[in-house]
Amino acid sequence: MEGFRVLEIKKSVFENNDREADKLRQELKKEKTFLLNLMSSPGSGKTTTLKATIAALKDEMRIGVMEADIDSDVDAHTIAETGAKVIQLHTGGMCHLDAGMTKQGLEGLGTENIDFAILENVGNLVCPAEFDTGAVKNAMILSVPEGHDKPLKYPLMFSICDVLLVNKIDVMPYFDFDLDKCHEYVKKLNPNITIIPISARTGEGIDQWADWLRTQVAEWNK
Amino acid sequence: MEGFRVLEIKKSVFENNDREADKLRQELKKEKTFLLNLMSSPGSGKTTTLKATIAALKDEMRIGVMEADIDSDVDAHTIAETGAKVIQLHTGGMCHLDAGMTKQGLEGLGTENIDFAILENVGNLVCPAEFDTGAVKNAMILSVPEGHDKPLKYPLMFSICDVLLVNKIDVMPYFDFDLDKCHEYVKKLNPNITIIPISARTGEGIDQWADWLRTQVAEWNK
């Protein structure tokens, strides 16, 4: 048995999700836990990016990961190998997490000894964008094989994120991905977003991403 | 102005989606129109696959395409270039189409002179799987960069499809994608599914896919 448990999360009972999200952020502030909500399409490399992120930061902060999935424990197994604290959340068919569900996950994970908590949201560019999870910052991954036109097609997701990781840049030569066009489309929707090209596989760009996270976590604990 | 219009579709008012879907299929049967519901993650190559499909079949049947998207007309522009009849459906933030919404789309497209209608669903592996659109067959695309473990994580989608196109096989050498494992996971969920590896970009496998479609359209018109 590997070191994680599976939590079947329940539908939230709260009518006002935004209020619950603000309450959750206040609790996290008190506990000095920084929560990142990581979103993307299926298969863009969320879990591989998390592995690289944990490797870069695990000696500086205590990291806890919530792996949200409709089914399966594949990702929690992968993350458990890194030595980080991890819990698998099963959403029971739900396509996103809201603040109430995230709170259940955090309670299952236990945040008292966690400096940096990460929610790996359900792989989906649509629904997760519509619900504030209570996270301090929203991050998303767009992978090169998905194409640079995705900001045009899923504008809300690109609008609500604080940082965009453009992943799989190691395979750029094999795809028609225009990084300049991508920047242009994204910045038009969200001028303040930080864009970091990375390859979770080769490690390119992970330093810059880790630096961004260090700054955010330090800012939150001020 | 290119040859398509944009339809803002409304939320369905029907309580029983399955019944509406069955009614829609009966109407399509009478009109001798075959409707395919094409689903996948964002960026797996639905539109490029459609272009290759239209090129392969346009001399044999009258094709009509409904491009469903939350926003933007990118895909309808691309499909309009093929000469096929096309309409852009805007879902107004909705993450999927149900039978009532599909019916609005078909009415907008006009099916009286269409043998083969295609609904390009919203890019999403979760929600579209939960709603019968009234299509005669469900098809999905999984692209090589997404990884062979996706059937484990989005089981419902793989369970409800009649055919799976494994796209972008031309980039197989650059990814850790195990086609045998993919087959194994998918067939376990859905023993009757047809799996066709393709590259919409190079044209590999498109013949087999076009043959599968010919058979289905002929069967429907018997």
Q: Give residue-wise pLDDT tens across range A4-31.
A: 788 888 777 777 999 999 999 999 999 9
CA distance A156 to chain B (A): 9
Q: What are B's interface residues with A at a Cβ cutoff of 8 A?
A: 41-44, 69-72, 74-75, 93, 95, 122-127, 130, 143, 145-147, 149-150, 152-156, 168, 171, 174-175
3-class secondary-structure state, position A54: helix
Q: Report the pLDDT value the prediction gives residue A5, as an integer from 0 to 100.
A: 80
- Cβ of B43 and A41 within 8 Å? yes
CA distance A65 to B44: 27
What is the dihedral sign for C-alpha B38, B43, B45, B48? positive
Average confidence score pLDDT of chain B:
94
Q: Report the pLDDT value the prediction gives residue B65, as an integer from 0 to 100.
A: 96
Residue located via tokens 């242009």 = A184
If you ran DSSP here, which 8-state letter would residue A90 be given? E
Q: Which comes out higher in pLDDT, residue B71 or B118?
A: B118
In whole angstroms, how far apart are CA B16 and each of A43, A134, B23, B91, B127? 33, 34, 11, 20, 17
Compute the average pLDDT of residues B92-97: 86
CA distance B48 to A145: 13
Confidence of residue A1 (pLDDT cuts 50, 70, 90): very low
Q: Report the pLDDT value the prediction gives residue B16, as an integer from 0 to 100.
A: 92
Tokens of B215: 């058979």
Contacts of B125 in chain A (CB under 8 A): 42, 123-124
* A75-123: pLDDT as tens digits: 999 999 998 999 999 988 888 999 999 999 999 999 999 999 999 999 9
Q: Which comes out higher in pLDDT, residue A141 or B221?
A: A141
- Of the ranges A85-99, A142-156, B164-178, which one carries the lowest mean pLDDT score? A85-99
User: Which DSSP string do the residues of chain B spell out, in sequence order?
Assistant: --SEEEEEPPPP--S-HHHHHHHHHHHHHHHT-EEEEEEE-TTSSHHHHHHHHHHHHTTTS-EEEEEEESS--HHHHHHHTTT-EEEEEE-TT-SS--HHHHHHHHHHH--TT-SEEEEE--S-SSGGGGS--S-SEEEEEEEGGG-TTHHHHSHHHHHH-SEEEEE-GGGGGGS---HHHHHHHHHHH-TT-EEEE--TTT-TTHHHHHHHHHHHHHHHT-
Is the pLDDT at A159 greater than 50? The verdict is yes
* A211-221: pLDDT as tens digits: 999 999 999 99
In whole angstroms, how far apart are CA B98 and each of B13, B25, B68? 11, 13, 11
Torsions phi, psi for B93 (to 5 deg): 90, -15
Contacts of B71 in chain A (CB under 8 A): 152-155
Tokens of A177: 């991905």
Confidence of residue B1 (pLDDT cuts 50, 70, 90): very low
ipTM of the prediction: 0.90
Q: Report the pLDDT value the prediction gives residue B2, as an integer from 0 to 100.
A: 52
Confidence of residue A134 (pLDDT cuts 50, 70, 90): very high
CA distance A179 to A168: 12
Closest CA to B89 of B111, B115, B122, B47: B122
Q: Report the pLDDT value the prediction gives residue B73, as an integer from 0 to 100.
A: 87
